[in-house]
Every structure is written in structure tokens, then in C-alpha cells.
């Protein structure tokens, strides 16, 4: 699994380096690949898992964008999870480098444990504040509410930071916390 993620990251870097342009750090058109580590509280024991996440966004207007994401996690005790979401969002500039961002999406989730699996559908609502706090460095924070038919609902606090070490290529860190789970991820974002 980690070899596959390393290979994907290396391929993304190799593709992005020759075509790095004068991308804006507050760009809403990007593709992002990352490694995710999650710990879920399931009673007296925790369930640890890790995997990869792929996200993307496409600006369709100055203030509107569509976005998608896919996450594939392998947990202990033979539990695997995949999540896919697709939606749209809007940004409201509060300043030159500060936006309020709202997002809504449909969510499809699949959890496999042993020979059983559970498929679930629902929606995501989110709001964030995103801003460039220093040259080439931006922070983003807010919440995401996910409501699934069978697995219930949960609200997560999400914090992200990324540094653009090239004009169009950034490395980032994501932290997400709910009542029952804590997630940390590292990622590579290419904007165009």
C-alpha cells in the first residue's frame, strides 16, 4: 500500500515540475494526492487505519467550483473503507487573500469487514475560512457535517495548511477531528 502511494506521489511530482506555472495560492482548480492515517474510537479499543486520498476541484466561475474526493483506507482486524463524494461550492471573498467557502456534496460510503459489507449514501455540508497568511502559505479551517442513511451523522472540525514550494505545487497537512475519530494526512497539491 505504501509503495503504491509513494509511486503515485513521485509520478505526480514528475508530471508537475516541468509545467509549474504562475498559479495563485488561492486557486480553486487543483488535484491533490495524499496519505491518510485515522484512529476510530470503538468502545474500549481503538481501530487504526491508513490509506490514500485523492481530491480535486475545478473552478467553473470566479466564485463557484465543483469538487470531488475519493478515500481508500485499510484498518486493523480486516476492516476496509472507501468513500467517494461529488459536489459544488462557492467562495465569498472577504479580502484579497481571504475567502469564506461553502460546500455541499453527495457521499457514497462502503465499509467491508470480513465477508460482509455495508454500502451507504448521504450528503455533506461544509463551511470554511481560507486565507493566505504569508507569501506561499495558506491556512484553511472550518467544519464538515456528513449525514449517511445507515451509518448516522457526524460533524468534523477540519484544519488544513499548505506551503507552495513551487508556483503550482504545494505540500500540505490536514487534521480532522470528530467525537469518535481523529485523522491526520499529508498531501501534495498541484494547481493549474
- Residue 150 in this model has a pLDDT that exceeds 90: no
Q: Which pLDDT score, from 0 to 100, does residue 24 have?
A: 61
DSSP class per residue in 12-60: HHHHHGGG-----TT-S-EEEEEEEEEEEEETTEEEEEEEEEEEEEEES
Give every CB contact of residue 114 below 8 A, 6+ residues apart in sequence.
Answer: 78
- Residue 22 in this model has a pLDDT that exceeds 80: no
Largest CA distance in the chain: 52
3-class secondary-structure state, position 168? coil
Binned at pLDDT 50, 70 and 90, residue 133 comes out as: very high
Instruction: Determine which of 22-26, 34-38, 43-47, 167-171 has the lowest per-residue pLDDT on average.
Output: 22-26
Domain count, the chain: 1
Burial code of 4-40, b = ≥16 C-beta within 10 A, e = fewer?
Answer: ebeebbeebeeebeeebeebebbbbbbbbbbbbebbb
Nearest Cα residue to 1 out of 41, 68, 49, 47: 49
Under 8 Å between Cβ of 159 and 175: yes
Q: Which residue has the cell 508556483?
A: 167
Task: Report, as an integer, the average pLDDT of 141-164.
Answer: 94
3-class secondary-structure state, position 107? strand
Q: In DSSP terms, which residues pair with 181 in a beta bridge?
A: 40
- Residue 106 in this model has a pLDDT that exceeds 60: yes
pLDDT digits (tens, 9 = 90+) for 71-93: 999 998 889 999 999 999 999 99
Q: In CATH, what number is assigned to the domain containing residue 104?
A: 2.40.160.20
Nearest Cα residue to 77 out of 109, 119, 40, 108: 40
- Domain of residue 131, residue span: 2-191
Binned at pLDDT 50, 70 and 90, residue 190 comes out as: very high
- Residue 62 in this model has a pLDDT that exceeds 60: yes
Amino acid at each position: 500500500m505504501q509503495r503504491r502511494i509513494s509511486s503515485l506521489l513521485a509520478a505526480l511530482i514528475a508530471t508537475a515540475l516541468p509545467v509549474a506555472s504562475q498559479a495563485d495560492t488561492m486557486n480553486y482548480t487543483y488535484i491533490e494526492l495524499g496519505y491518510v492515517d485515522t484512529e476510530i474510537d470503538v468502545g474500549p479499543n481503538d481501530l487504526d487505519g491508513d490509506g490514500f486520498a485523492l481530491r480535486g476541484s475545478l473552478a467553473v466561475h470566479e466564485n463557484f467550483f465543483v469538487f470531488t474526493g475519493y478515500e481508500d483506507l485499510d484498518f486493523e482486524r480486516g476492516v476496509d473503507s472507501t468513500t467517494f463524494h461529488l459536489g459544488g461550492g462557492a467562495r465569498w471573498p472577504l479580502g484579497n487573500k481571504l475567502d469564506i467557502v461553502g460546500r455541499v456534496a453527495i457521499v457514497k460510503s462502503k465499509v467491508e469487514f470480513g465477508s460482509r459489507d455495508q454500502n451507504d449514501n448521504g450528503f455533506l455540508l461544509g463551511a470554511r475560512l481560507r486565507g493566505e497568511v504569508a507569501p506561499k502559505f495558506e491556512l484553511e479551517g472550518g467544519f464538515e457535517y456528513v449525514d449517511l442513511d445507515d451509518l448516522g451523522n457526524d460533524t468534523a472540525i477540519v484544519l488544513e495548511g499548505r506551503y507552495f514550494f513551487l508556483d503550482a505545487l504545494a505540500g500540505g497537512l490536514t487534521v480532522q477531528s470528530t467525537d469518535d475519530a481523529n485523522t491526520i494526512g499529508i498531501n501534495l497539491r498541484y494547481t493549474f
